Structure 1
Amino acid sequence: MAENLTFKYDPIGDILYINKCHPYPEQESEELGDDIIIRLNSRTGEIENLEILFFSQRMNEQQELKLPVIANLRLGV
């Protein structure tokens, strides 16, 4: 089943959350470096969530944000 991406910003923590599903306890977390955290499906290894720390600070300092992930985007019809 295809999942829609949801984006949620937490202004208190200054974190941008990009989610394919709601986080759950069985996910494995890994820091990619540069204050980017991914949450993986422990069975498939698929990235299900991204957390970008210090998001507003990053946007104030640079014009673009490059994520070290490959995306296969299609319309969710």
Structure 2
Amino acid sequence: MDAKLGFEYDNEGDILYINKRPPYSEQESEEIDYGVIARLNPDTGDIENLEILFFSKRLSEKTLFELPIIADFRLAATA
């Protein structure tokens, strides 16, 4: 499924959410790195959402923040 990425930041919880689709209860969750939670499609295992805990703290401590995933960036089709 091709989808635009959505970003939401929870200032109170210091969590960055990266979403390809809205989360749903059937997704499986896996911590893929310390404080990085992937929400996976239960049928395909594809990552559909990421939750990055302690986001502002991570940015303030390092000049480079890396995620343990491979991304395929392409422009979204416009209607």
TM-score range, shorter chain: over 0.9
Match of 1:16 in 2: 16
User: What runs of 5+ residues in structure 1 fail to find an aligned partner?
Assistant: none
- Taking the TM superposition and a 5 Å limit, the aligned residue runs for 1:1-77 are 1-77=1-77
CA distance in 1, matches of 2:13, 2:19: 17
Q: Secondary structure at the match of 1:56?
A: helix
Alignment RMSD, CA only? 0.8
User: What runs of 5+ residues in structure 2 fail to find an aligned partner?
Assistant: none
> Number of residue pairs matched?
77
Question: Which TM-score applies when normalising by structure 1?
Answer: 0.96
Amino acid at match of 1:9: Y
Q: Report Cα offsets for 1:15-65 as digits up to 9, x if no partner.
A: 000000000000000001221000000001000000000000001111111
Instruction: Please list every run of at least 4 consecutive aligned residues from structure 1 whose deviation after the TM superposition is greater than 2 angstroms.
Output: none
Amino acid at match of 2:28: E
Q: Secondary structure at the match of 1:58?
A: helix
Q: Secondary structure at the match of 2:56?
A: helix
Residues 33 and 68 in structure 2, CA contact (< 8 A), matched pair in contact too: no
Question: Which TM-score applies when normalising by structure 2?
Answer: 0.94
Q: Secondary structure at the match of 1:59?
A: helix
CA distance in 2, matches of 1:2, 1:31: 24
